[in-house]
Structures are given as structure tokens and as C-alpha cells.
Amino acid sequence: MLKVELSIIFHRSRSCIAIRFPYSFELKEYVKNYTGTYWSNSKRCFYLYYSEIVEKEFTAYLSKGGYSIDNKKVTENISVVRKGISGKFELPKLTSEKAEIHKKYVWYLEGMRYSKSTVSVYSNFILEFLRFHATRPMAELQENDVRTYIEWAVKELNYSISTHRQLISGFKHFAYFYPMCKIDPEKLRRPKKDQKLPTVLSMEEVLCLLQVTKNLKHKTIIAMLYSCGLRIGELIDLELNCFDFNRKQLHIKRAKGRKDRYTVIADSIFPLLRQYFSAYGPKVYLIESLNGGKYSASSIRSFLKQNCTLAEIKKPVTPHTLRHSYATHLLENGTGLRYIQELLGHSKPETTMIYTHVSTKDLGDVRSPLDIALMQKRLPDNSDKKLLISRLNLRDID
């Protein structure tokens, strides 16, 4: 029986569970299929972001697969040793009282039917907070304690704004769950979101990416992500019974926010799908791993990065970039924002409006005042030749 060794490492400013084992293709695929597993080139191992819940669920997952587990090194470092900007520090273990409250908070989140990922993230924040204030009684915890923890976490762990916003959400839920503390959820404020515009590929770049992708399964994945505007999780969860080829519709089930939606299957993808079905014969999911389970998100990100290099695309491209490109190209080709919102599954129209900022449809009609000035300016000999800025002596213009 193959043995998997788990240990605590510090990676990307957070404590993680390192996953190491003797090479086995089947075991590698099994580990990759676990939600939240990542590969680190620097550490040369798979890893998970640490929380006691994640460790418990992952060890159960390995046991279910028939693998032996060595987690002594995790047990020895259960206090979560981390290295911050100020050097090495250690957060103490929870008291039995706080451990019981934390466990019930996890049950509360699960009862609210949040995803495993959300439960893990929120509970990990609260676990860290309770350890940070290990000597402070639960009944005395208040907003100032939250503030001091956040200041520490942002400085020492380099939390991004999006992580900071998630952290506040976790605290709001905790305050509602445990009203005996003095934390007022209405006084907790989220930082404003970064107003970043999405990266978008041109249609030519998308076609070039498909052209350089020789692997049939990989090409099908890229084509589905772009032609249907899918999130990577939606593609991985896509079952064969979601396809309605007669109506040319794809049923996306239990997407973000537990919402279903329909999107359109492109006519041009039908020949590719026929080739794919004939070659791979999927049984349950559209994209399956070799052992028949769900395909790995990390594998998709990996081959997409490699193929973008082959296509000489210099932009930072992720699977979500193809979804952004899908929405932007729909807008540029005249599809209304309301339809795009439905196709993408956005709850708010404001989310879809971001694509108006990256669309070149209307921007292409805007003329720079420099172009207008050069058109109006005539050469000294009054000829009708087009004036080029390279020929223009700017000192001649008053």
C-alpha cells in the first residue's frame, strides 16, 4: 500500500499541508482531483492551504482511496508555525472551550449550505483569530480585537484585498453565530474592491490558441470554456446529461450561488465534440480523468499556460480569461448586456457592466484629438499628402 506523507510548510504567506508520496500516476491523479489541491514548483510537491478541517477531510479522502497516511509531522506542528515579516512566530493551540465553539461554527456554516471551500476559508480565519487572542475570554471579544487581528494578518501574512473582504465576511457570520461575544457585525467594514479590468484575448488569439493545441481533450476544454463562457469549476462538473444537442443548449447546474442556467452550444464545436466522444468515450462527465473521475483544475491551468507560450500570447492567461473574452466578444458583436448577464449567470447587472470598459466596439469609433489635428493640418506646400507625425516639426506649431 502506498504511503502519503503530510507535513506543514509555509508557502505563499500561509501555512499549508505538503503532500508527498512515491511516484504513482494513479495516486497523483487521485490527489489532483481533490478540490483545493495545488502544485508548487518551488516546493516540488502538492499542497493544500492548512486548516484542521481540511486536514481531517483530506485524510478521510486518502483513506477512502485505500492509501496509507503518515501525518506525524502535521500533529507535531498543530500549533501552525508560520514565518512572517517580523520573523518566526507561533500561534498557540485553542483552549477546549474555544475549540468547541469553533467546531460548532463549522457546523453553522455547513448548516447554511455553504460550499466546502467557503466553510474551509471562513473557519480557518476564525481559527486563526481565536488563536491570536488565545488569552482573551470569548465574552470579551469585540471589534477592536478584530481590528488588531486584521492589522496583524494584513501586515504579516500579506493578505490581498479580496482575502481581506472574505475575512470580514467570515467575521460577520461568526458574530451572528455567537452573539455572546461583543463583536457588532454592523461595525465591520469591508475594504473597497480593486477596480481591475479583466484580461481579454482577441478573437485571433483565441483561434491561434486552439490551432496550436494538438491534444484533442485539451482543445475540447479550451473550446468549451470560450464558446460557452464557462467557469473552470462548471466545466469540471459538467455531466453528459447537461447537453441538449437538439436545442443546441447546455444546462449549467449548481453553478456559483447554487444557480442553474442555460447557455448556447456553438455550431462550430459540434464536429470537435463528435471527435472527442469517439476518441475518449466519457461515461459520466464531459471531461474525465484516466480513472474516470473528475478532471483536475490544476491540469487545465498547466496545459493552458504551455499552449499560450506556443501561441506566443504574452498576456497573463487563466481559464477565466476565456470566459472574459467570451463576454467581451459577445458585447462587441451586438449582444445586449441583459442576455450576456443571463448567459454568464451574473446575479447583478453591475458585474456584467465591466465588459463595457474592455470592449473595443465603441472605443474604436473614438478619434484621438491628435489624429484630428493632423488631419486638419496641411503641409507647407498645400499638398493633399497625409501628414505623418514623424515628418512634423513640433516647433512649427504655435
Q: What is the pLDDT of residue 77?
A: 60
Q: Looking at the chain, which residues constitute the CATH 1.10.443.10 domain(s)? A: 203-356
Ranges of CATH 3.40.1170.30 domains, the chain: 3-78
Q: Percent of the chain at pLDDT above 70? A: 85
343-351 long-range CB contacts below 8 Å, 24 or more apart? Answer: 343/229, 343/261, 343/263, 343/264, 344/229, 345/252, 345/255, 345/256, 345/257, 345/259, 345/261, 347/257, 347/259
- Please give the torsion angle defined by the CA atoms of residues 357, 360, 361 and 367, in that order, rounded to the nearest 10 degrees: 100
Percent share of the chain, pLDDT over 90: 44
Q: Where in the chain is the domain with CATH 1.10.150.130?
A: 96-187
Query: What's the mean pLDDT in 368-373?
Result: 62
What is the per-residue pLDDT for 75? 67
Q: What is the CATH number of domain 96-187?
A: 1.10.150.130
CA torsion through residues 270, 275, 278, 281, sign:
negative
pLDDT in tens, 297-318: 888 999 999 999 999 999 999 9
> Which pLDDT band, with edges at 50, 70 and 90, does 93 fall under?
confident
Residue type at 383 in one-letter notation: S
pLDDT at 284: 92
Q: Judge whether residue 394 has pLDDT over 60.
A: no
Q: What is the pLDDT of residues 1-30, one digit of tens each?
A: 789 999 988 776 667 889 999 988 889 888
Mean pLDDT of 118-139: 89
Across-strand partners of 39? 46
- Choose between 390 and 11: higher pLDDT: 11
* Mean pLDDT across the chain: 84
CATH for the 3-78 domain, from 3.40.1170.30, 3.40.50.620, 3.40.50.720, 3.90.930.12: 3.40.1170.30
Superfamily designation of domain 203-356: Intergrase catalytic core (1.10.443.10)
Please give the order of strands across the beta sheet that includes 3-11. Answer: 38-40, 45-49, 14-20, 3-11, 68-70
What pLDDT score was predicted for residue 313? 94
User: Catalytic positions, please?
Assistant: 231, 256, 320, 323, 346, 355
CB contact at 8 A, 3 and 70? yes
**pTM to 2 decimals?**
0.69
